[in-house]
Amino acid sequence: MVSNRVSKTQAEKNAVAKPVTKRAKLAPEASREVLEERLEFVLTCIKETGIKIDYAAVGRYYGISTNAAYMRFKRAEGHVFKLVSVREAAEKGDEAQKDNNDPETTEDEEV
């Protein structure tokens, strides 16, 4: 006769909880946008707090020269600056377009 008891190994295998829902994956554009915002945040923190970066230590970590580490940082900083300026220009364009669509007075009201 076969026992209906659950063995210890069966119980351990079944005891592993599986996630109820899968983590939602972001669209590539959204994940890139999130990464760019985080990069902007980190660089702003570094700039505003006046943290001095040890480029020699960064270079040792990545196996590159101190000057190469410095240039990588400056390129990343320039990239973020461009992203911020494009975003700000787009926001100004949206505001200007919104203002043009909602005029306070019409020509008939002026007469």
Domain residue limits at 47:
29-95
Which residues lie closer than 8 Å to 84 by C-beta, 6 or more apart? 40
Residue 67: predicted pLDDT: 98
- Model confidence at 3: pLDDT above 90: no
The model's pLDDT over 64-108, given as tens digits with 9 standing for 90+, comes to 999 999 999 999 999 888 888 888 888 888 777 776 765 555 555
Q: Which residues of 32-59 are buried (b: 16+ CB within 10 A; e: fewer)?
A: eeeeeeeebeebeeeeeeeeeeebeebb
- Model confidence at 33: pLDDT above 70: yes
Question: Looking at this protein, which amino acid is placed at residue 96?
Answer: A
- Model confidence at 17: pLDDT above 90: no
Range in 7-11, 37-41, 65-69, 77-81 with the lowest mean pLDDT: 7-11
Residue 69 CB coordination number (10 Å): 20
Residue 6 lies in a domain: no
Q: How far, CA to CA in Å, does 79 sit from each of 6, 23, 40, 72?
A: 60, 30, 9, 11
- Model confidence at 43: pLDDT above 70: yes
Please tell me the total count of domains within the chain: 1
Contact 15, 22 (CB under 8 A): no
More confident residue, 23 or 59: 59
pTM: 0.54
Residue 43 lies in a domain: yes
Q: How far, CA to CA in Å, does 96 sit from each of 84, 86, 105?
A: 18, 15, 16
